[in-house]
Amino acid sequence: MDMQVWRSRLMTGQWFSHLPAPLQNSLLAAAKVRRLSSGQRLFKRGDPPCGLYAVIEGAVRIGAVSEQGKEALLSLVESPHWFGEICLFDGQPRTHDAFGLGQCILLHIPQAALLAMLDEQPVYWRQLALLMSQKLRLTFISLEQLSLMPAPARLAHRLLMIAKGYGEIDPPRRVLQLPQEQLASMLSLSRQTTNQLLKDLQGQGIVNLKYGEIEILDAERLRALAIF
């Protein structure tokens, strides 16, 4: 897989495709390929900053595990998403764990290379700030939903967000590679509750369920359910 293939994959994402061409070129020139097997850890909470990542193939699971072994899954990062930018700004340790989900191919821009690039062109800090602010906006929305939205509306909204790649993908995907257990963790619901809600949607002809997959059949009706 060469640089042209990487570029074409990344250009399907909103953030990268709107970067100035010189910054796109600089990021790709500094990129190193990382491959993760399923379940392999990329970094853990408390690790030192290691740079910025882009998902080319597969997905990365971002979350944390309590001392009792309970996992809080924050998000599944899929192609063409970028992640890891928080530590670039504050130089502090990693806030969460990151593991491969399935076979993954990532591009890694090392921290030192990124900082050197930004020292040379400080105007590019704004582009990295936009990447982080988009995620901060989504975090506020998720917190609001946990407090105010009933479970069916939260689930409908999250399915739509995942389909749109959290704002990165247009047009949205119809088929989501998403095990129900992981969806339940993202919504702070039990697997049983999540399964029942999905079965209700399937009964209404809004989604179709397969093993490890959720197919959105009627996005308009799903959007109507996501409004509260």
**Domain 3-142 = CATH 3.90.1150.50:** no
Domain range 149-226, CATH class? mainly alpha
Q: Are 178 and 213 in contact (CB under 8 A)?
A: yes
pLDDT band at residue 106 using 50, 70 and 90 as cut-offs: very high
> Tens digits of per-residue pLDDT, 107-133?
999 999 999 999 999 999 999 999 999
What is the model's pLDDT at position 228?
63
Provide, rounded to the nearest whole percent, the portion of the chain with pLDDT above 90: 67
Sequence ranges of the domains in the chain? 3-142, 149-226
> Tens digits of per-residue pLDDT, 133-176?
988 888 888 888 777 889 999 999 999 989 988 878 878 889 99
> Tens digits of per-residue pLDDT, 41-64?
999 999 999 999 999 999 999 988
Angle subtended at Cα 222 by Cα 221 and Cα 228, rounded to the nearest 5 degrees: 100
What is the model's pLDDT at position 3?
75
Question: How far is it, in rounded angstroms, from Cα 106 to Cα 82?
Answer: 9
Query: What H or E segment, with its residue span, contains residue 120?
Result: helix 111-120
Question: How far is it, in rounded angstroms, from Cα 185 to Cα 39?
Answer: 17
At 159, phi and psi to the nearest 5? -60, -40
Same fold yes or no, 3-142 and 149-226: no
Instruction: Tell me the average pLDDT across 17-38.
Output: 95
